[in-house]
């Protein structure tokens, strides 16, 4: 991917996308992907590499705010896509319309019984599915999310999130009549890198707060606000580039 920072996405999330884009390129070639549907698209980052690589992309989310944000980012980058506000359980398409359905940050918000139900609902619309779930074993991701949520900069919603392990997801895929074909870990930082990134905003914020306390003038107050914003952005970016489990499931006839 040769493009610069992606709209409102943090530079750290952009670093993560570069690694993820290599996986997307492999899948496009292996599975002859020409059109994808991104379910629960959020800011659209999951489908950006596909669009950059020339794949026709349809982005769908139940949130109008999320779709609007994705539209802004795509326009900012000069990318083309179709945007739809709809529920994943009631998709407005015909069967086998897409070469691949992709989704990131969706399945960890469903309980065990709902995973297979959701997979059965969406399987008829595509030949293949690509599912990504944040790995909770990465403590850095969890701390970064907690910090960015505290600073009110967590961009991915506040729904309940749970730890979906590889064996649970694989079991749900098989129950839905699909076949797991590719299992990868996609991530940039790992434990140590993410923890290091978290320390940086904490140090910045703490230093400026100490200056502000000693000298409560307008300049120091303005610096405090700027440090707060930078710390929140770094924390959000650290969580956005944590390790994720990527599973591709084949829809067998």
3-state secondary structure 87-138: CCCCCCCCCCCEEEEEEECCHHHCCHHHHHHHHHHHHCCEEEEEEEEECCCC
**Residue 30 is assigned to a structural domain of this protein:** yes
What pLDDT shows up at residue 121? 87
Residue 166 lies in a domain: yes
Is 220 inside a domain boundary?
no
**Within-domain flag for 226:** no
Instruction: Give the pLDDT score at 195.
Output: 52
Strand partners, 184: 246
What CATH number has the domain bearing residue 160? Answer: 3.40.50.150
Contact indicator for 36, 55 with CB cutoff of 8 Å: yes
State the 10-residue block means of pLDDT for the chain, 253 residues long: 44 68 91 95 90 95 91 92 93 88 87 88 90 72 64 57 84 90 69 51 54 53 57 52 74 69
For the entire predicted model, the pTM comes to 0.73
Number of domains in the chain: 1
Residue 3 lies in a domain: no
pLDDT at 84: 96
């Amino acid at each position: 991917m040769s493009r610069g920072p992606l709209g409102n996405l943090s530079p750290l999330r952009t670093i993560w996308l570069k690694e993820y884009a290599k996986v997307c390129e492999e899948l496009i070639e292996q599975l002859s992907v020409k059109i994808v549907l991104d379910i629960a698209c959020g800011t659209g980052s999951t489908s950006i590499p596909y669009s950059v690589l020339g794949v026709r992309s349809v982005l769908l989310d139940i949130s109008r705010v999320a779709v609007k944000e994705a539209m802004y980012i795509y326009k900012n980058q000069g990318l083309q896509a179709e945007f739809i506000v709809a529920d994943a359980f009631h998709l407005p398409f015909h069967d086998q319309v897409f070469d691949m359905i992709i989704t990131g940050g969706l399945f960890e918000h469903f309980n065990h019984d709902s995973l297979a139900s959701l997979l059965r609902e969406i399987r008829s619309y595509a030949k293949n599915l690509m599912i990504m779930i944040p790995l909770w074993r990465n403590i850095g991701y969890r701390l970064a999310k907690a910090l960015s949520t505290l600073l009110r900069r967590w961009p991915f919603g506040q729904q309940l999130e749970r730890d979906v392990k590889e064996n649970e997801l694989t079991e749900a895929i098989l129950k839905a009549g699909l076949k797991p074909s590719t299992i990868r870990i996609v991530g940039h930082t790992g434990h140590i890198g993410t923890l290091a990134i978290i320390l940086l905003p904490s140090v910045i914020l703490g230093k400026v707060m100490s200056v502000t306390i000693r000298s409560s003038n307008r300049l120091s107050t303005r610096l405090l606000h700027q440090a707060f914003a930078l710390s929140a952005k770094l924390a959000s970016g650290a969580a956005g580039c944590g390790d994720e489990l990527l599973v591709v499931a084949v829809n067998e006839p």
